[in-house]
Structure 1
Amino acid sequence: MGKSETTFTPYVRAEDDLPQITVKAVLLGILLSAILAGANAYLGLKVGMTVSASIPAAVISMAALRLFKRSNILENNIVQTAASAGESLAAGVIFTLPALILLRYWTDFPFWDTMAIAMFGGILGVLFTIPLRRALIIQQKLKFPEGVATGEVLKAGSTGGKGIIQIAWAALAAGGYKLGQTGLKIFSGSVSGSVTAGHSIFGIGTELSVALLGVGYIVGLNIAVLVFGGGLISWLFGIPLYMAFASPAEIAEVTGGISGYEAALEIWSEKIRYMGVGAMVVGGIWALISLAKPLKDGIQSSWEAVKQARSGDGDQGLRTERDMPINLVLWGVVGLSIPIFIVFTQVIDTTHLPVSRGLYWLTMATGVLFSLVAGFLFASVAGYMAGLVGSSNNPISGVTIATILATSLILLAILGTQLDFAVDSSRAQAAAAAAIVVGAMVACAAAIAGDNMQDLKAGQLVGATPYKQQIMQIVGVVSAALVIAPILSLLFNAYGLGGVLPREGMNPDEMLSAPQATLMQSVAEGVFARNLEWNMIWIGAVIAVAIIIFDKVLEARGSSFRSPVLAVAVGIYLPLELTVPIFIGGGLAWWAGRTVARRAGKEGKDPEQARGEAERQGLLFSSGLITGEALVGIILAIPFAIQESTDALRIVPEWFIPYADWAGGLAALFFIGWLYRVAVKRQN
């Protein structure tokens, strides 16, 4: 629980102003922001989930700053603040902008447009969280789990050397495994199979990805079970039931005559995954409803703090309570509306949206206004949710899809007077693209807001100066925005995204699924083209309502296991093979914690302290697995793009494929055992 303002004592006292924004801290923060943005972009496009990098960034920065004679904990905190902003911005971008590729509105990621959307949306997120810092960190008693954990890691800087070694070994091993999988083709990337019963197909498969194993460990057993459970809803019930009740002609139209696991995958892609859309929409709306009162109280408290700052009251004189001046925040938001308007007109021009001049400018102005209003609303929600469940479990995709759905309906009401979207698909495409761009602004702001609140909580624990952290958050946003477009372009041209391959002859098995962006594209385009699978969406909505009711029952009983609906919705929408390693990673985290707690109890030690140490060790190692696989995936994209083939580095013949399945499976089992051993290892 958070501490009140009157009882809290920071690690560094307010009167002890140590150097924070130094040259080495800025340069290291910029570098780590760019690297972690690339790693999270790859992970998010692959699986539709991202994880917070605050703790790995803190450990890496500690190791790097030790190379200098003089450094301190506040300087270290500044580095991780900028670095974690980069990975959060990547989440907002990859959840939305690839949808423009899937719409065939973009053929690649143009540098200036992509950079501007990411940068302006991210800066909005920073500005929106400044007036919320007091309300959510000081006045609200929220956990901010990752912010507290990051603060504790920073304070325990003497263990940074061991932590960086764990991350390095895991990253090297995961990178080598990824090279053997995707580059050399020695290991298979996945295994799958199916069973046919009557007219129904029961498919099962798993990705042999150590990054997904690490994701599962970090999010824990509860979330991992829910994500996997969502996959089972689609694959164990949804697909078989659809095939049992659909006519042979309908099934043949969807599958194209193929059979087995491929047929199940096609049915999931064309039909069943839309249950995830319905569940995600209901989940996003529920998040807003459940947070209405706390959000109202938080905004009210924030404006009270603004009034105090203007009148000179309060404790703004304390270094540890000094935010960026509120007048700069307000003028910054107003000032950003102009470049945001220009970006909208550049991305959605009159050639793609041929309506009257007055209606066109009204559409663009509405998009900007909605970006600012929804951006602040959802940034507040994201900041509050980060305090409750952490950044990694923050339902950014839920609030983003709610934004895109609302924007699409508003634009349909405005533009429907002149355009018949059911007849002209190109205009429906442009209108959907406009909704996606608005959603991208809001998603970037919300993603940054949740991460920033964690960083500011960590800063409160160590005694940082808030306005200096806020400056470095902007530095991290700009750094990530400058590299995100080239990274996305590289990944798209090397692997393809969400069913879109940039050229003929590419291997669809290597394609990055971009599940969240596909979801955004489906909803935005479907509103205008009126071709969504509404029956499946309504079924998903009903499932979501049932999950919400179940969660309320668990809450009333005081259960430690909860069922947040958005976690299940993500599982419904993801291919089952992506949820299996996440489930295994969550199970490992639970088993490792249980093992060390029992051992500590037998030895007369504190079980909870032992469990926390196992969690930290496994978290660092898992972060290394994610970083290693993601970075090698990005590096491999370079020769793949140059050679225009994912077989550019293949060293084994086609007949080796069955043996590659065995090799990949055995290697995956090795990593599972290694992660478990690291987590339960005794600390001297």
Structure 2
Amino acid sequence: MESLKEMSAPSMPARESSADPLGSAPGFQPYIPDKATIPELTLPALTLGTLLGIVFGASSLYLFLKVGMTVSASIPIAVLSTTIFRALSKAFGSRRATILENNIVQTAGSAGESIAFGVGATMPALMILGYDMEWSRVMLVSVLGGLLGILMMIPLRRPFIVKQHGTLVYPEGTACAKILEAGEQGGASARMVFTGFGLAFVFKVLMDALKLWNNAPSKLIEGINGYKNAVISGEADPALLGVGYIIGTRTACVMVAGGILSALVLTPAISFFGQGLKEAIPPGTIPIDQMGPGDVFKSYVRYIGAGAVATAGIISLIRALPLIFSSVVGGLRDLGSRGEGADGSGRTQRDLPFAVVLLGCLALVAAIASSHLIPTNLAGRIAGACMILLFGFLFVTVSSRLTGEIGSSSNPISGMTIATLLMTCLIFVILGWVGPEYRVTALSIAAIVCIASSNGGTTSQDLKTGYLIGATPRSQQIAIVVGAVTSALIIGGTLLWLNSVYSIETSKAEYLPKVAALESELTGQTETHDGQEYRVARVAIPRDGVLPGRYLVDNSLKFVVLDDPGIGGRVNERDDGTKVDKFNPPQPALFAVIIDGIMTGKLPWALVLLGAGIAIVMYLAGVSALAFAVGVYLPLATTVPIFIGGMIRALVERRHRMTAEESDSSPAVLMASGLIAGGSLAGILLATLEAPIGFIQSAKKGLDMTDKVGPLLKSLPAGWQDIIPSVVAFGLVSLTLLAVGMGGGRGESSKAAIDLPESRPDV
């Protein structure tokens, strides 16, 4: 989709050579010559890369579930690798790691972020559609998608990376090569990364574990006749502050503008026109007159936001069609003329054998066709596997070439996923495959293609980095396979864990259908709740008064309990009054809307089309329709800290009058990266406190200092006692980031010429 922020493409001066070494681009000589033999694919490098990949992959998943976007991990990992190996060398008197070992670390570590994006964007849609998010399905999709993207990128390395060197820039890969070279020469300190990490981690512990201040203060606007349910809110999250700084002022402003439309225009407007109505208006389940701000948002505004996101994605995809077409044609042409040297004997030209690619792809197709991943008959499984292979090759080719031309920040991964989903659903409808199992099949196909195309783009950037510094492609390909598999397992487990601890079982009548369950909706399973045994019903096809989801019903088929998921759920309070912050990224809801709209036709199209109109208006006005649409979908509380981060960057750039490259190389950018990692990992660890286990809940109560802090807040003005402490605490973190930016300028990290990639744009 269209970029959240225009990417400046850093260039790297070519090293002149009189020869054309082993089929490389004419006149190019890598940093490490082809004939040089130095340590590269070593156990320490692979281990550190895998560990950092797990850390950044898990934090990327948490960040994606919060705001629907991720931040590229390659450059922070490269900086950390250089610093960690340097520190270990000094501590133990061992040799320093080579530049090629540091490259292996960032290669293995970078896979986690791209897999986190694909898994987080697709798998939660299962629960929105009314199905279980099974462990085996999540793991299979994660691993198969990651491996498919890598395998299909291997034969494209030579035509894209080598033969078109100088034409396809690969901005992030080129920037990462600069980092590694600077580290070889003594630059690229990771001090700011660690500082941001520690600051964000401690902040989250004090806020979410000790409860010293409110994590999302809000203020209801009152006293205006007819202006109801308008709330100004902001989340005190240092990770979101870091996101705002990295994506920049323009995008941050557009996103918060969408949030303002959602919270201060759409929600009050729906509340105003719904006054006096005594009947519920679908998809709402209670009258609008009885709804609070959150109810209006979840029942109506979220569908408007999903329609806006879908339309913005389609607009972006249409705009990219010329590039996509040329990418496919050029990729097939170049692939057909790989020529001699593709498997040449020179170290810098050694790929994994093409036979490995073919056998690997066939093995993946066989695994898909023989597994429960596609829950249909044998013909359907084989057809689904072939569609995955076809769409996977198409969009990995497109992703790789587009990444080279416009960078990962403008790579339309969500647009490609939408296209895959649309084509798959339309094919199924034509064939008459419209049963519930085919909805899962369509989503599984799109999920694997999404992860494959995302990881294919990341692999391209890694191989470009390796090409510039003189790495061995085969070693990099092995490293990213190891990194992809290990990261996929951890990311899948993290997704299931976060969903589990934030799930809510509620017996409140407002969330339960008034009609009886159907026999066809029973799963045959039973479950005990509050000492009573109930039958499990799963509603996959929405019907009047019954929303998709997992329910417990009694013997008379009366709905008794709703098991609301932690991701994409609609209940934010347990029956005992405990508040729970659910994850609601826009992409899963978007993909569920597409599947429901095409395969069942049961969708609140009026709300979706309202969102489509908003996206079209923004596009015609010259505003980033995608960033605005995401702002409409996300709560205002989420976009406000992103906006503050963007404004801090504006002040820093104004103070130092830096170019785009100088701004991206400032210490504040590294600190922002640390804020994201520290805040996200703290959020994952603190989620443990939500587990319904006796000793964990006792520990949670023991850490809670609300009773001790409460008396101290009574001196504050009424109505502001939950707001002022949060504003002060978050303000201190914001001022720290501002001080680093103002004082750093073209500081130490600038020696590394760090061009930190922005967030993925298709959020």
Q: Where on the TM-score scale, by shorter chain, does this alignment land: which range?
A: 0.7 to 0.9
Native 8 Å contact 2:81 2:106 kept in 1: yes
Q: Which residue of 2 aligns with 1:30?
A: 50
Q: 2:704 aligns with which of 650, 655, 658?
A: 650
TM-score normalized with structure 2 length: 0.77
AA paired with 1:120? Answer: L
Aligned counterpart for 1:621 among listed residues 671, 683, 686: 671
RMSD over aligned Cα, in angstroms?
A: 3.1
Q: Is the CA contact (8 Å cut-off) linking 1:306 and 1:326 kept in structure 2? A: no
Contact 2:274 2:288 (8 Å CA) reproduced: no
Which of 614, 631, 634 is residue 543 of structure 1 equivalent to? 614
For residues 245 and 403 of structure 2, the distance between their equivalents in structure 1, rounded to whole angstroms, comes to: 19
Q: Distance between the aligned counterparts of 1:57 and 1:80, measured in 2?
A: 5
CA separation of 1:372 and 1:548: change in aligned 2, threshold 3 A: farther
Structure 1 residue 179: deviation in Å?
Answer: 1.0
Match of 2:178 among 148, 152, 173: 152
Q: Deviations over 1:265-304 (max 9, x none)?
A: 3222222222333333333333433333333333344344
Quick check: 328-337 or 34-43, which moved more?
328-337
Matched, 1:499 2:523: no
Q: 2:331 aligns with which of 295, 299, 302?
A: 302
Is 1:73 aligned to residue 99 of structure 2? yes
Contact 1:589 1:615 in 2 (8 A): no
Secondary structure at the aligned position of 2:415 is classed as helix
- Structure 1: which 5+ runs fail to align? 351-359, 420-426, 552-562, 598-606
Note the C-alpha offset of 1:187.
1.9
* Aligned residue in 1 for 2:139: 115
Q: Which amino acid aligns with 2:593?
A: S
CA distance in 1, matches of 2:642, 2:729: 16
Look up the match of 2:686: 636
Aligned pair in 2 of structure 1 residues 543, 613: CA closer, same or farther (>3 Å)? closer
One of 398, 407, 419 as aligned partner of 1:381: 398
Q: CA deviation at 1:464?
A: 1.9
Q: Does the Cα contact within 8 Å between 2:73 and 2:113 map onto a contact in 1? A: yes
Q: 1:396 aligns with which of 398, 401, 413?
A: 413
Residue aligning to 1:263: 292
Q: Is structure 2 residue 116 aligned with structure 1 residue 45?
A: no
| Matching residue of 1:534 | 605
- AA of the residue aligned to 2:62: Y
Partner of 1:673: 735
**1:71-470 matched pairs, under 5 angstroms:** 71-106=97-132, 109-110=134-135, 112-138=136-162, 139=164, 141-157=167-183, 163-195=189-221, 197-201=224-228, 202-246=230-274, 248-249=276-277, 253=281, 254=284, 256=286, 263-309=292-338, 312=340, 316-343=344-371, 346-349=372-375, 360-392=377-409, 394-415=411-432, 428=436, 430-470=437-477
Query: In 1, distance between residues paired with 2:722 and 2:268?
Result: 30
Structure 1 pair 121–195 and aligned structure 2 pair: CA distance change class (3 A)? same
Whether the aligned pair in 1 keeps the contact of 2:375 and 2:438 (CA below 8 Å) is: no
Provide closer, same or farther for how the CA distance between residues 612 and 315 of structure 1 changes in structure 2, counting only shifts above 3 A: farther
Deviation per CA, 1:464-511: give whole Å up to 9, x if none: 222322221111110112212321222122222221679865844422
Range 322-331 or range 175-184, more displaced: 322-331
Q: C-alpha distance in 2, partners of 1:585/1:259?
A: 36
Q: Which protein has the larger Cα radius of gyration, Structure 1 or Structure 2?
A: 2
Normalising by structure 1, what TM-score?
A: 0.85
Call closer, same or farther: CA 1:200–1:457 in 2, change over 3 Å.
Answer: farther
Maintained 8 Å contact 1:92/1:444: yes
User: What letter matches 1:46 in structure 2?
Assistant: K
Q: Alpha carbons of 1:16 and 1:504: their partners in 2 closer, same or farther (altered >3 Å)?
A: farther
- By how many angstroms is 1:398 displaced? 3.4
Distance 1:452 1:247 in 2: 54
Shift, 1:524, TM fit = 2.3
1:49-104 Cα offsets, whole Å, 9 max, x none, are: 11111111111111222214131111101111110111211111111112223334
- Name which of structure 1's ranges 564-573 and 212-221 shifts more when overlaid on structure 2: 564-573
Could you tell me how far apart the structure 2 residues matched to 1:62 and 1:378 are? 33
What letter is aligned with 2:428?
L
Query: What residue number does 1:558 align with?
Result: none
**Residue 355 (structure 1) aligns with:** none
Percentage of matched positions with identical amino acids? 35
Q: Is 2:590 the partner of 1:525? A: no
Moved more, 316-325 or 80-89: 316-325
CA 235–399 in structure 1, closer or farther in 2 if over 3 Å, else same? farther
User: Which of these residues, 562, 576, 589, is aligned with residue 649 of structure 2?
Assistant: 589
Unpaired segments of 5 or more residues in structure 2? Answer: 1-8, 15-24, 90-94, 503-565, 714-719, 749-763
Q: CA deviation at 1:635?
A: 1.4
Equivalent-residue separation in structure 2 for 1:191 and 1:546 (angstroms) = 32
- How far did residue 321 of structure 1 move? 4.0
1:601-625 residue CA offsets vs partner (Å, 9 max, x unmatched): xxxxxx438x615643122111111
Q: Aligned to 1:193, what secondary structure does the other structure show?
A: strand
Letter in 1 for 2:470: G
1:410 deviates by: 2.9
2-structure distance, mates of 1:654, 1:266: 32
Q: How many residues align?
A: 638
The residue matched to 1:538 in structure 2 has which SS? helix
Give the residue type in structure 2 aligned to 1:284.
G
1:439-472 Cα deviation digits (max 9, x unpaired): 2111211221222222222223322222322221
The answer to whether the Cα contact below 8 Å between 1:284 and 1:402 also exists between their aligned partners in 2 is no
Counterpart CA distance in 1 for 2:117 and 2:300 is 26
Q: 2:227–2:272: 8 Å Cα contact kept in structure 1?
A: yes
Residue in structure 2 matched with residue 6 of structure 1 by the alignment: 26
Aligned to 1:356: none
